[in-house]
Structure 1
Amino acid sequence: MATRTNWKELYQDLPEKVAATLREKRVKPEQLTAKNDGELLALGLSDTDVETVRAKYPSTLSELVERSADLKSAKADTLSEKKTKKVKEISDSHFYKYPRRVFGRSSRYKALAKKINRNQTCEPKAALEKLISLAGKDKAIDLHLNVLDTGLRGEVKVPFSTGKTIRVEIFSDKTITALNNNEFNFDVLLATPADMPKLAKYAKVLGPKGLMPNPKSNTITNDPETRAKQLSAGATIAFKTEPKFPIIHVSLGKTSQKVEELTGNLTTLLREVGVTKITGAFLTANQTPSVRLDLSSI
């Protein structure tokens, strides 16, 4: 229970007139030190009375103002240091020193671009042969599709390997240990419906990496062993548009594969996506210009 203030005992160290005013206005000593001089004058005290009060009860506002000023100054110095550091990092970067409008493409890219007619379309097999001759051995070949709308996704089993090794893991207690240690030694994580409650708390970590099992990608299954064999064979291609743009990027294989194998994978994928949904199709290899595809023969 709060104790009552004995006003008669307060301010005995001040002149009676000043003390009486403060008692009448019910101003406690801790409130007195927190008030500025203007507020004391508003109570009915004169300038001389205020000086007398301050001699006994100095204001704490000046200390707070000084402390606040020090904090603002320290914060400004920190922000200035961060800004200077960021500017220095940018100024030291390769792209700042050599922007594309000045530095341009590499000499290799420019030489390859002269061998490709951007206005010409090629049939799938001819386009692949051209890319293989330009890119060299063991380079990845990627397909880029412009489609009518976002939200298009699916999976297709292609007749030949894509040349990419997929690390598949079936959810177990070892997976939990690895996730707790922030280790992600897999490209695809498979789980059964019964496993999903255990994986729920890792959704914020796995989701942004595209590793969270979900029904749309068929990574939640009652038979994960069979599904793992399908994916490990490297003959399955999953495709989906970007979240905000109707664009699809997939890997078809490598230039070290036979043209017939790459052509088989390409035509199978295009038919699965649907030629009528595609507004533009382009093939690229590592660091090569794109070749536009003619889809009339698909």
Structure 2
Amino acid sequence: MSKKLTKNKKKIIDKIYKKKYSLEEAIFLIKEIDFVKFDASVDISVRLGIDIRLPHQVVRGTVLLPHGTGKNVCILALVPKNKESEAKKAGADYVGLKYIEKIKSGWTDVDVIVATPSVMNQLGTIGKILGPKGLMPNPKMETVSINPEKSIEEIKSGKITFKADRYGIVHASVGKVSFSHKYLLDNLEKFMKIIVRNKPSTSKGSYIKSIYLSSTMSYGIPLDLKSFVNK
């Protein structure tokens, strides 16, 4: 059985690097090359023509994926007492400022932290813990809000955040291999539309340099940039 799998893998690898694929073709291929025994995530990596040393060329933002990510996102709501009940109803897994002390002790078992502007001055002491993990609430990522319930509901229903790394690459999970072709296509098209819309006005030359689609532990499939508006 393992020999057959290795043969299949070799065939797929040979196939992948013969050309660049349209988004539609890549989605079919991603399902074909998925050999893991769990429902793998579908990930996209977009290399951008930006100079990340310049603050005004940092590409970051949020996308509300039409069909969600297929993941159960664990949310901590750092909100004042009068907002706790609404945050719980909206779907927050953990609620309350008591978690600040827990974070000081090293606890960070959440995917996203949502906060109100009124509590941000209390988070300075845990900034060094949350910052490196990408958990610090940020108005640009819409995780600092006067309406935290809305933010929580949107995150639970499929809103993701993105930010170009130090190499100018944006990485994001946009669904699961088990998603239908249409669901993955809808999510990917929405994601790329927002990436294109976030092009810095000072960015020169080609904005989108390369795009790869992959699933958990799979090889990256190179996409044909003609599938997208390359402004």
Tell me the TM-score normalized by structure 2: 0.76
The aligned residue for residue 132 of structure 1 is: 31
The aligned residue for residue 46 of structure 2 is: 145
Q: Give 4+ residue runs of structure 1 displaced > 4 Å after superposition.
A: 106-109
Match of 1:288 among 218, 221, 224: 218
Answer yes or no: is 1:228 the counterpart of 2:152. Answer: yes
Contact kept, 8 Å, 1:145 with 1:249, in 2: the verdict is: yes
Contact kept, 8 Å, 1:112 with 1:289, in 2: the verdict is: no
Amino acid at match of 2:22: E
Contact kept, 8 Å, 1:283 with 1:293, in 2: the verdict is: yes
**Structure 1: distance between partners of 2:106 and 2:218:** 36
Contact kept, 8 Å, 2:21 with 2:221, in 1: the verdict is: yes
Q: Which runs of 5+ in 1 are unaligned?
A: 1-105
Tell me the TM-score normalized by structure 1: 0.60
The aligned residue for residue 19 of structure 2 is: 120
Contact kept, 8 Å, 1:139 with 1:255, in 2: the verdict is: yes
Deviations 1:167-193 (A, max 9, x none): 111112331232133212311111111
Match of 1:270 among 156, 175, 192: 192
Answer yes or no: is 1:215 the counterpart of 2:139. Answer: yes
Contact kept, 8 Å, 1:109 with 1:289, in 2: the verdict is: no
Answer yes or no: is 1:256 the counterpart of 2:178. Answer: yes
Deviations 1:55-76 (A, max 9, x none): xxxxxxxxxxxxxxxxxxxxxx
**Structure 1: distance between partners of 2:103 and 2:216:** 32
Q: CA deviation at 1:287?
A: 2.4
Deviations 1:222-279 (A, max 9, x none): 111111111011x21211110x211111111111110110011111111111186211
1:116-195 alignment to 2 at 5 Å? Answer: 116=16, 118-136=17-35, 138-149=39-50, 150=52, 151-171=58-78, 172-195=96-119
**Structure 1: distance between partners of 2:18 and 2:11:** 17
Structure with larger Rg: 1
RMSD of the alignment, in Å? Answer: 2.0
**Structure 2: distance between partners of 1:175 and 1:207:** 16
Q: CA deviation at 1:215?
A: 1.5
**Structure 2: distance between partners of 1:206 and 1:286:** 25
Contact kept, 8 Å, 2:65 with 2:174, in 1: the verdict is: no
Amino acid at match of 2:176: K
- For these two proteins, the number of residue pairs brought into alignment is 190
Match of 2:15, SS? coil
